[in-house]
Structure 1
Amino acid sequence: MSTFVIFDLEFTTWPGALEQDWAAPGQLREIVQIGALRLRDDLTVAEEYEVLVRPVVNPELSPYFTGLTGITQEEVDRDGLSPAAALGDFLTFCRGQSVLSYGNDMVVLGENVGWARARGEEVKSGFLAAHFLNARPWVNTLAPATADANVGRLWKVLGLPKPFAGEEHSALFDCYSFAAAIRHLYAGGAALPAGCF
């Protein structure tokens, strides 16, 4: 049975960082949480993936980030993996798959892999073993009402039942919201984005 992966990231942020494209000194988009779902060809969930990551440059989470995501400093300090370990593990999860995000999360993923390697850390697996695709244009074209929606709100904008326990800005919840949108559009007759399988 064919599968593909959808994923979402939560990364360090501060008030105004999005509007300034993280251009303020010292503000990097360091990954703090990775969520992913492996979907079968019938769009049911075959496997979940979720991990916390300890940021290096900004190891102390901003109150803004914690308020947005609900992820606490204690959780990251206790359960977070090193960036190299988390990234390598996630890229292994993606090996041989098409990997969809709602936006250019693969760019943030690439930045974090680059920083880990620049620190001399080994990241097992790599991008070449997976095919990354931004599916946001596909969703927004088929459902124009989603154009201004973040991934965690797709289910609500499309009038769908809440897909999973939790709230937006939790990477795994956002993946379930994204999966609900994909299933909804596919059930309405849309072809999946080219390259899913």
Structure 2
Amino acid sequence: MSSYVVFDLEFTTWRGALERDWSAPGQLREIVQIGALRVSDTHDVLDSYEALVRPLVNQRLSDYFTQLTGITEEMVAGGSLHPAEALSGLLEFCRGQTVLSYGNDMVVLGENTGWARLRGEEIKAGFLSPSFLNIRPWVNTLAPVTGSVNVGRLWRVLGLPKPAGGEEHSALFDCYSLAAAIRHLCSTGASLPEGCLTSSN
């Protein structure tokens, strides 16, 4: 069986940070939540990975971030992983797979991996093992109605049933929304870009 992975990140943000490209002093894109799904070539979900991650520089989450994601400081304090542990878990989950995101989340993943290594921490799975691809241009080209929406709203604008559990800006829910969009577009006769499917071990 062949498969692929879809993943999504929620990371520290502040009102206006997107427009400023996180250029304000101290406003790093530290990962706070990771979601990933392993999906078969028939677009069935095979496995999932989810983690809350403890930001180390911006330990106080902005009100804007909490309102956007529903993630509170209490949630992070009560059940989060150290960044190196969470990143290692994700990369191990993705090992040998092509990893699809709706946007350039792989850049944020690379930033956080780099910071962990600068702190002298071990990332137990190699960052270069998976192959990462921004699938957004493919989705937007096949379904122009998706061009202006975030990943968590793909199911809605495509007229699909709402994925079970959660809301947009929850990393795992956003993965289910993206997986549903890919399944729908492939059901209309589209094919995933070349190289997306890899044989499972």
Aligned counterpart, 1:2:
2
- Identity across aligned pairs (percent)? 72
CA distance in 2 between partners of 1:149 and 1:126 (Å): 32
- Cα distance in 1 between the residues matched to 2:179 and 2:51: 19
Question: 1:186 corresponds to which residue?
Answer: 186
Question: Aligned partners of 2:107, 2:128: CA distance in 1, in Å?
Answer: 14
Name the SS for the 1:19 alignment partner.
Answer: helix
> What is the match of residue 66 of structure 1?
66
1:18 aligned counterpart, secondary structure: helix
The TM-score, its normalising length taken from structure 1, stands at 0.98
Q: Which residue of 2 aligns with 1:138?
A: 138
Secondary structure of the corresponding residue to residue 47 of structure 2: strand
2:83 maps to 83
In structure 1, give the amino acid aligned to 2:20: Q
Distance 2:165 2:81 in 1: 24
* 1:138-182 CA-partner distances (Å, limit 9, x unpaired): 000000111111000000111111012211000000000001100
SS of the residue aligned with 1:78?
A: helix
Residues in 2 aligned to 1:126 and 1:77: alpha-carbon distance in whole angstroms:
28
Name the Cα RMSD after superposition.
0.7
Structure 2 unaligned blocks of 5 or more: none
Determine the C-alpha separation between the residues in 2 that align with 1:86 and 1:173: 18
Deviations 1:91-135 (A, max 9, x none): 000000010000000000000000011111111112221110000
Aligned to 1:27: 27
What is the CA–CA distance in structure 2 between the aligned matches of 1:163 and 1:196, rounded to whole Å? Answer: 23
Q: Which runs of 5+ in 1 are unaligned?
A: none
Q: Which residue of 2 aligns with 1:120?
A: 120
Relative contact order, higher structure (CA 8 A, sep 6+): 2
Does 2:170 match 1:173?
no
Name the count of aligned residue pairs.
197
Letter of the 2:118 partner, please give it: A
In the alignment, the residues of structure 1 paired with residue 139 and residue 33 of structure 2 have an alpha-carbon distance, to the nearest angstrom, of: 23
Q: Could you report, residue by residue, the CA deviation over 1:15-55 in whole angstroms, capped at 9, with x for unpaired residues?
A: 10011110100000000000010001110000011000000
Q: Letter of the 2:92 partner, please give it.
A: T
